[in-house]
Amino acid sequence: MSYKLEIKNLSFAYENKNVLRNISLCVEYGEKIAVMGANGAGKSTLFLNLNGVLTPDEGEIYIDGIKILKTNRKILNKKVGFVFQEADSQIIASNVRSEISFGPINMGLDRREVIKRVDEAIGYMSLTGFEDRAPQYLSGGEKKRVSIADILAMRPEVLLFDEPMTALDPVGAKDTEEILDKLCAEGKTLIVSTHDSDFAYRFAKRIIVMSEGEIIADGTPYEIFSQPDVINKAHIKKPALMRMWEGLIALGIADNNGKYPVIEAEALEILALKYKGKESSK
Amino acid sequence: MLIDYYAQLSGLRKYNAGAKAAFAFLNLCIVIAVNKITLSLFVMAFMSLATLLKGKTPLKVYAKLMSIPLAFIVLSSVMIGIEFSSHPLGKYFISLHFIYAGITQNSALTAARVFFKAMAGISSLYLLSLSTPINEIVTVLEKLRLPKIFTELMHLIYRYIFILFDTVFRMQTSAKARLGFCGFKTSCKSFAMVAGSLFISALKKSQAYYDALLSRGYDGRLEFLSEEYPLKASHILSAAIYYVVLFLIAKVGV
């Protein structure tokens, strides 16, 4: 079977400190995955390995069936894009346009193709009008958009987002979530690390939970959040909607048929259907 | 930082950076070589008006920036203007027991020439630096075949100096919030602590920045798409007219 991205028994240590232990993972094309776990669980280190910045001490990474060796690590840079947590640590150039061009130029594309991709990424992230702006005069949300455009211009097939909502105001966070949804709808594979279980619950189709460098659970959001031991071990919180629904089930208001609503509107609809016998207006 | 901020906003920014640099430097050379007060005054007036009216730099900011070199220039011109001699010289002099300090017509003229020459030179360079952000000037230097190592360093320094300043500012504010800067002794201690933790955080951050570079396929060459603003025929024409006027003033002026 040919998986998009496959990791077999990957281990990684920073100067004798084991950060990742024996990680195996298969990611198929078009998946929407959230990676959760406490700080220091190894999420960012896993991403750096997947993106080819770090080389695993043990284990193998395959992409499209190609085994990644030291000599062809650049394939990972190209096919797996990594949007860093802090936009400021990613932005290197002194204006938006040259910043976005950095990745495509490193890929060895010719100038016309670079310009085409940069223009496309600027349009996609609605950065038109900011092309000549220096990064020090951009707001946090704008910087985030630039850092995503950076990666989009490289046209990777898998996108890694390291805690994309941190340090963003609610509007910025909402915009970022919309961008993630849009990318998914276009068939990109997304792996997003997050602490926000409400976001993970409504966004992801699959959640991977990490603790102390190991994957301790891998499944649908409902499966993950109904395991109290996993929740405790990984220091994550049960999503508000799920707690609410469990409360409603306990009170006998909602039916326990194993189908939990994913967003508020869905919950309202189920209840309206049950008690009023019609679809709610919302 | 102030200069950079207004350079980003300047109305002259969309002019070709190489042409602006060439214009400013040629101006500087002419002003120094001709050394005439009328020419210097003309250049000073033209450059200031161009920066203020065309570049839309606020007058307050421009005056503040001009006043910094002004202090040095005034002091040195005064020293050039005063001559020392064993006998009384010129119209105005004072006796200092054995020698006389005085101002002659000649020395006053030299001083005035130096003063206006310096001011004209500064105003030409301000025209450049208040309309062209550093990265665009670095791109011009790249075109002039300055070794890559220097231009790459300039790009990186320009980018990270803002992050560094931002970090220092935040550290100092948090130190102030905890009474770190009341009194001389605590100020010294806080300064040392801020400097120390700045160094450590710079070391740590540099690894993250390097990782970010690698993740986008960096392999030892920092290359960006740099597009220059086009050089327009009307700009060349107006520069040519300007130099003709300069030439005429240089012929007739004092």
Determine, for residues B5 and A84 on separate chains, whether the beta-carbon distance falls below 8 Å: no
ipTM of the predicted structure? 0.83
Q: Are residues B102 and B21 in the same domain?
A: yes
Instruction: Quote the pLDDT of residue B47.
Output: 93
Residues B27 and B124 sit within 8 Å (Cβ to Cβ): yes
Sheet containing A5-14, strands listed edge to edge, beginning at the edge strand earlier in sequence? A17-27, A5-14, A58-63, A66-67
Domain co-membership, B71 together with B103: yes
Domain containing B15 equals 2-132+231-252
Interface of A with B in 142-201 (CB under 8 A): 150-151, 154
3-state secondary structure of A54: coil
Burial B151-160 (b: 16+ CB within 10 A, else e): beebbeebbb
CA dist., res. B18 & res. A98, Å (int): 18
B167-189: pLDDT as tens digits? 999 999 999 898 888 889 999 99
* Same domain, residue pair B36 and B146: no
**Closest Cβ opposite residue B224 in set A81, A98, A132:** A98
Q: Report how many domains make up chain B.
A: 2
Residue of chain B whose alpha carbon sits nearest to that of A137: B5
Contacts of A97 in chain B (CB under 8 A): 225, 227
Which residues have C-beta within 8 Å of that of residue B5, sequence separation ≥ 6? A137
Chain B positions in Cβ-Cβ contact with residue A95 (cut-off 8 Å): 133, 135
Q: Are residues B188 and B113 in the same domain?
A: no
Q: Is the pLDDT of residue B119 over 60?
A: yes
For chain A, give every domain's residue range: 5-238, 239-282
Regions in chain A scoring below 70 on pLDDT: 1-3, 278-282
CATH among 3.40.50.300, 3.10.440.10, 3.90.1150.10, 3.40.50.150 for A5-238: 3.40.50.300
A to B CB pairs, distance under 8 Å? 92
**Is A87 within 8 Å of A138 (Cβ atoms)?**
no
User: To the nearest whole percent, how much of chain A has pLDDT over 90?
Assistant: 65
Domain annotation covers residue B31 = yes
Rounded Cα–Cα distance for residues A243 and A241 (Å) = 5
C-alpha span between A230 and A191 (Å, rounded): 20
B31-39 average pLDDT score: 90
Overall average pLDDT of the B207-218 stretch: 91
B223 touches chain A (CB under 8 A): yes
Q: Are residues B158 and B44 in the same domain?
A: no
